[in-house]
Amino acid sequence: MKAVLNIAHRGASGYCPENTMAAFERCIELGATAIETDVQMTADGRLVLIHDESLQRTTGLPKLVKDVTGDELWELDAGSWFSPAFKGERVPTLEDLFELVKSRSLQVNLELKNGVVQYPGIEEAVIEATRRFGMSDRVILSSFNHYSLAHCKRLAPEIRTGILYMEGLYEPWEYAARFGASALHAYHYAVIPEWVSQAAARGMAYHPFTVNEPAEMRRLIQAGVAGIITDYPDRLAELLKTMED
């Protein structure tokens, strides 16, 4: 069986507050071979890792990420909403994550959250940080905003991109190839063996999201996907081990 990337969705978000250093550190312990996270920008241009455009759900502040500075964001508690045990966890920066993984062999999937809120210059800033940390060969940029991914590919042809989409995209491998993407980050119900095979024949990898049940993980592995995005990297690690035995 070929190697399958174990991609931790927002870190080990099944066990820790999503997109925090606790979640990233824990997913490494649980066997993840890649980390998926979301990138947005503060009012003063800091690249920060948070899923929602609003800070309400994970920090309790009724403001948008784009309307606070990096220093203001750092003062917020991004852990207590999940459990009192994580009180004091912060919203990390992209640099924080790169510092954690740069000496390891993990890959990093950066989802650019520039659909609802537009962040002028986010592509340039993410690419600059990726190159500065020497991570170009270990990063894949994804987004539901495919115009943004096409822009990324023009700016940095050496960095891989993956299109995020839900159901019903016809021959997504042909569509993705038009702007140089190399991976399909599809909702897992939109993945069947025939499509995986057709994509692979064209050099296109499938990384379905978000897959938490072992039975569905097994189905996708047997279908031939190159990676799986999950909240529970330990479940996937254990399943991969049993399927290799």
Q: What is the CATH number of the domain that holds 108?
A: 3.20.20.190
Average predicted confidence (pLDDT) for the chain: 97
Beta carbons of 176 and 184 less than 8 angstroms apart: yes
Q: Is 174 a domain residue?
A: yes
Tell me the average pLDDT across 86-96.
Answer: 98
* Catalytic residue check, 188: no
Kindly report the length of the chain.
245
**At CA 103, angle to CA 73 and CA 71, rounded to 5?**
10
* Catalytic residue check, 185: no
Q: Is 83 a domain residue?
A: no
Q: Is 97 a domain residue?
A: yes
What digits encode the pLDDT tens for the residues 103-114? 999 999 999 999
Q: Is the pLDDT of residue 33 over 90?
A: yes
Position 168 scores a pLDDT of 85
Predicted TM-score of the model (pTM): 0.98
Count of CB atoms situated within 10 Å of the CB of 53: 17
Tell me the average pLDDT across 156-178.
Answer: 96
Catalytic member of 9, 151, 188, 207: 9
* Number of domains making up the chain: 1
Beta carbons of 50 and 22 less than 8 angstroms apart: no
Contacts of 183 (CB under 8 A, 6+ apart): 140, 142, 160, 161, 162, 163, 176, 204, 205, 206, 207, 226
Residue 222 lies in domain: 5-53+93-244
Residue 34: enclosing H or E segment and its boundaries?
strand 34-41
* Locus of tokens 């990898």: 205
Q: Is 155 a domain residue?
A: yes
Position 245 scores a pLDDT of 74
Q: Is 61 a domain residue?
A: no
Beta carbons of 124 and 95 less than 8 angstroms apart: no
